[in-house]
Amino acid sequence: MNLLDLKGKTAVVTGAAKGIGKATAALLEQAGATVARIDIEDAPGCIRADVADEAAVERAFAQAGGVDILVNNAGVAVRKTAFDISADEWDRVIDVNVRGSFLCARAAARSMKSRGGGAIVNLASIMGFSGGIFPNPAYQTSKGAVVNMTRALALEFAPLAIRVNAVAPTFVRTPLTAPLFSSPEILKKVMEHNPLGVLPETDDIAAAILFLASPAARCITGVTLPVDSGYLAR
Ligand SMILES: NC(=O)c1ccc[n+]([C@@H]2O[C@H](COP(=O)([O-])OP(=O)(O)OC[C@H]3O[C@@H](n4cnc5c(N)ncnc54)[C@H](O)[C@@H]3O)[C@@H](O)[C@H]2O)c1
């Protein structure tokens, strides 16, 4: 028996046009799931929706059909210090990363409830457990909220057989981190906080998401699994 088999399951992946979301959608498909992709960008194969927009989320989930698995991956960062970030920039980070994850979790859970269960995997971050190594307070705050929303929804949805977990990646090379990694000094500092000496690839994050979404994790709920090459072990 293959505990990672998702044959017959329908998954929704948000922010699936690129980066971790794109790799995850492909891996879930490889595991046998039918995958609906949501993105704010007009990308081929994606349902277009801003996850922070409640009406757009409801429309997108109606279009996706029944849901067994949700990967709450859409996320943004505004890397500015507390002194430099505007209130609107702060709000946008919290809106997409926290409100957006909540709205999608709720829409998915309504469908999962009628299907007898499901699995939700949120994208937290090592920044949800630490103050980070560069000032980025809106992002750090939003990911801390995702960690605790994961616990809260896990408890609320447990009687419905809906599991809610999260992954917490360290820095992964994607369009989100491209501006950081263009600087050799920043890359050097990132690697000083990477005991294994390996930056995860998008597929490494997708693998952890597949595990948490699959029957292999049937007794796991409310946890956030670091995929961090040892960052949080210090
Ligand atoms: N890359 C990293 O180092 C890293 C580390 C830890 C956590 N994460 C988290 O992983 C997730 C994916 O990150 P990534 O690096 O692949 O990002 P990315 O910027 O490469 O891709 C994010 C995708 O989400 C989409 N998106 C953004 N805002 C959206 C919205 N409001 N509605 C719908 N779609 C939206 C974008 O269009 C894009 O396709 C995010 O939640 C991020 O915070 C990333």
Give 181-202 as a DSSP string.
HTSHHHHHHHHHT-TT--PPPH
What pLDDT score does 18 carry?
Answer: 97
Q: How confident is the model at residue 140 (pLDDT cuts 50, 70, 90)?
A: very high
Tell how far the Cα of 169 is from the centroid of ligand 1, in angstroms: 12
139 is annotated as an active-site residue: yes
What are the Cα distances from residue 70, in Å, to 9, 22, 73, 83? Answer: 11, 14, 9, 36
What pLDDT score does 38 carry?
Answer: 98
What pLDDT score does 203 carry?
Answer: 98
Q: What is the pLDDT of residues 29-68, one digit of tens each?
A: 999 999 999 999 999 999 999 999 999 999 999 999 999 9
Tell how far the Cα of 159 is from the centroid of ligand 1, in angstroms: 30
100 lines ligand 1 (CB under 6 A): yes
Tell how far the Cα of 2 is from the centroid of ligand 1, in angstroms: 30
175 lines ligand 1 (CB under 6 A): yes
**Cβ atoms 64, 73 nearer than 8 A:** no
Mean pLDDT, the chain, integer: 98
What are the Cα distances from residue 49, in Å, to 4, 39, 54, 149, 203? Answer: 29, 6, 10, 22, 24
* Per-residue burial over 102-112, b = 16 or more CB atoms within 10 Å of its CB, e = otherwise: bbbbebbbebb
Q: Which helix (H) or strand (E) holds 86?
A: none
Q: What is the pLDDT of residues 61-100, one digit of tens each?
A: 999 999 999 999 999 999 999 999 999 999 999 999 999 9
Q: Which helix (H) or strand (E) holds 80?
A: none
The catalytically annotated residue of 139, 157, 171, 231 is 139
Res 214 pLDDT > 90: yes
What pLDDT score does 91 carry?
Answer: 99
Ligand 1, from 20, 37, 39, 94: best to mutate by most atoms within 8 Å of Cβ? 20
**Cβ atoms 167, 123 nearer than 8 A:** yes
- Reference 201, options 25, 31, 22, 20; nearest CA is 20
**Cβ atoms 163, 202 nearer than 8 A:** no
Using the atom order of ligand 1, give the atom closest to the CA of residue 100: 31
Does domain 10-172+201-218 fall under CATH 3.30.930.10? My reply is: no
Q: How confident is the model at residue 1 (pLDDT cuts 50, 70, 90)?
A: confident
**Cβ atoms 130, 88 nearer than 8 A:** no
